[in-house]
Amino acid sequence: MPQQRKPNDLSRSLIALDMATTLIAVVELSLSSWLVAGIVPGVERQPLKKLKTDENALLALLNRWRDEAVRSGHKISRIAVAFEAGRDGFWLARWLGARGIEAHVIHASSVAVSREHRRAKTDRLDTELLKRAFVGWLRGERDHCKMASIPSLREEDAKRPSRERESLVGEQSRLVNRMKATLIRLGIRGFNPKLRHAEQRVATLRTPEGEPIPPSTLAELKRDMQRRRFICDQIRSIEQERLERLERTPDTKPHAMVRLLARVTGIGIETADLLVHELLLRNMRDRRAVARYGGLTGSPDRRGMIQLAWRFLLFQKNSALAQWYRRRTEHAPKARKTMIVALARKLLIALWRLVREGVVPEGVAMRPA
């Protein structure tokens, strides 16, 4: 007889949802106001209230609805609140959780919407859609929507250096491309604005007509070079601070994971830090959960995983994963871009097993400890 998987505490609480003792609310967040829709036991109407952006006003509203349910003869033992992941992040969920309110954050892309025709879209309709999805999820019907894991403030802060560095690198690339485009517009090619003495040399450049760079354009180029130099200093500062943190506390769980991943040939400190704080520290149930998260288009580390997969093929040619990719694409070159996503997910699972179980992927070359 096959062994049945034992449900965890969360699944038990979802299946055992008691609508008579549970107050349910969804919040549509915006910069100027919050729209709160509720299902209150004992109250026939389903209330809808517009609030100012104030967490205390939201808590007062939930308490008022609870009192209405009690007056109608229903003892509320559970208050469940949900809202979509967005600009507000997770602070409201942490704030509510600290006050005994069960808070959930919904992945916006996981809520199914009709695509048969152009649909009306208002905050009122959005709250109704979220409410139906949330109630279904609470009943244990997981296909209604997906919930985001709520990180602590410390966990969120640990992600900031990698995200800031990625933003700065993108800004640096845009500046360099803009400077090159400016020079090409004047007919000047082959000049690298990333050179150490580029700011001094740019004044000596000449157009094909033998003319110097016009003064306004030259001033713009110099400002862009100064801005790029400032960005480079910020990037170096972030990288140096990360190395110092690793040296100060090398044996903490996150830093031990980073050091282990950095031993894999082709993975540097920056990529290792990104993977650890964006994914590998999450409480994933099994390898299927890791693969599902790796398939989320909006996950911050998805692009990094794709880039790592291409780099993995270059540095780990003898690994089983690289050989699997080559077999799949040897006679189908058009499938390379599709299969690189599959390779990235397989690689993600392999790295998760490496840091969790110490299992080195087959054929992967490791640097000395």
- pLDDT tens, 57-71? 999 999 999 999 999
Listed in sequence order, the DSSP H helices in the chain are 9-15, 55-71, 91-97, 123-138, 153-185, 198-201, 215-248, 253-262, 269-275, 287-294, 302-315, 320-329, 336-357
The pLDDT value given to residue 333: 87
Q: Which of 93, 95, 90, 91 is nearest to 103 (CA)?
A: 93
292 phi and psi, to 5 degrees?
-65, -40
**Chain segment 173-188, per-residue pLDDT in tens:** 999 999 999 999 999 9
Single-letter amino acid code for the residue at 202: V
Q: What is the model's pLDDT at position 115?
A: 63
- pLDDT tens-digit readout, 264-279: 999 999 999 999 998 8
206's tokens: 């000449």
pLDDT at residue 10 in the model: 43
Find where tokens 């000395």 sit: 368
Look-up of token digits 């919050």: 34
Cβ atoms 131, 26 nearer than 8 A: yes
* Mean per-residue pLDDT of the chain: 88
Tens digit of each residue's pLDDT (9 = 90 or more) over 227-237:
999 999 999 99
Sheet containing 102-106: which strands, arranged edge to edge?
48-51, 34-39, 22-29, 78-84, 102-106, 147-148
pTM above 0.75, yes or no: yes
Least confident of 121-130, 258-267, 340-349: 121-130
pLDDT at 116: 61
User: Strand, coil or helix: what is 315?
Assistant: helix
DSSP 230-298: HHHHHHHHHHHHHHHHHHHSTTSHHHHHHHHHHTBTT--HHHHHHHIIIIITS---SHHHHHHHHT-TT
Residue 8 has pLDDT above 50, yes or no: no
